[in-house]
Amino acid sequence: MKIAVIGAGNIGHTLGQKWSKAGCTIYYGVRDPEHGKFAHLQESGQVCTILDALTPARVVLLAIPGDAVTGFVEEYSESMNGKLIIDATNNIHGGPMNNLEMLFEKTANTQLVRAFSTLGWENFENPVVNGQQVDLFYCGHSGARPITEKLITDVGLRPVYLGPLEKVDLVDGLTKVWFALVFEQGHTRRLMLKMVEEVAS
């Protein structure tokens, strides 16, 4: 599977590395692919312009600052049409945390998913905390579930589906819980939210 990872920072690079190891072809789309900070990705030929990343991709991961997404979509919406788009961005300066409504309005025939937004990137890099697998709560287009759940599983996380896009406030609420615990209550960033369920045998 070909994946355009837009933004090669904490989230983009962490998830891109995991998916690459799982056999996906990763194109890191960045503004300046020649920049020295991408030397490690230049060697493997994985870093390119944003357009070159989007064009061949089946899946697009948005991993740029939340307030940069509007400008990004204005420039690249045509190249995003028809793809499965995962919005991992968080608007931390107010307004909706996610960019799904704008993505829905500005792109065509896309499958939209809200995932990889609720926990710190360290938990994606090492998805086991105190011996327990980290759960990833997500929502989005039901037709996107098989690919999304494979990508979540490839990272080493357990997918927990909360429903279609209308459930995005639930997903973003979990992000706010994580933020409150880590940034206000002094817990560490190696903190996950876990669903525990008794299943009748």
The footprint of ligand NAP (CB under 6 A) covers 7-12, 30-32, 63-66, 68, 71-72, 88-90, 92, 117, 120-121
- How far is the C-alpha of 198 from the C-alpha of 61, rounded, in Å? 33
Judged by beta carbon, residue 121 or residue 161, the one nearer ligand NAP is 121
Rounded to whole angstroms, the Cα distance separating 61 from 47 reads 14
Q: Shortest gap between Cβ of 36 and ligand NAP (angstroms)? A: 11
Q: Which is nearer to ligand NAP, 32 or 166 (CB)?
A: 32
Count Cβ neighbours within 10 Å for each residue of 133-158 and write b for 16 or more, e otherwise.
ebbbbbbbeeebeebbbebbebbbbb
Instruction: Tell me whether residue 179 or residue 201 sits nearer to ligand NAP (CB atom).
Output: 179
Nearer to ligand NAP, 10 or 55 (CB): 10
Phi-psi group of 140: left, alpha or beta (phi > 0 → left; psi -120 to 50 → alpha; rest → beta): left
CB of 118 to ligand NAP, least distance (A): 7
| Beta partners for residue 159, in sequence order | 136
Instruction: Give the shortest CB-102-to-ligand NAP separation in angstroms.
Output: 14
> Which residue is at the shortest CB distance from ligand NAP?
9
Q: Number of helices and strands (H, E) in the chain?
A: 8, 10
State phi, psi for 54 to the nearest 5 degrees.
-70, -40
Q: Please, which residue, 186 or 201, has the CB nearer to ligand NAP? A: 186
| Shortest CB 200 distance to ligand NAP, Å | 35
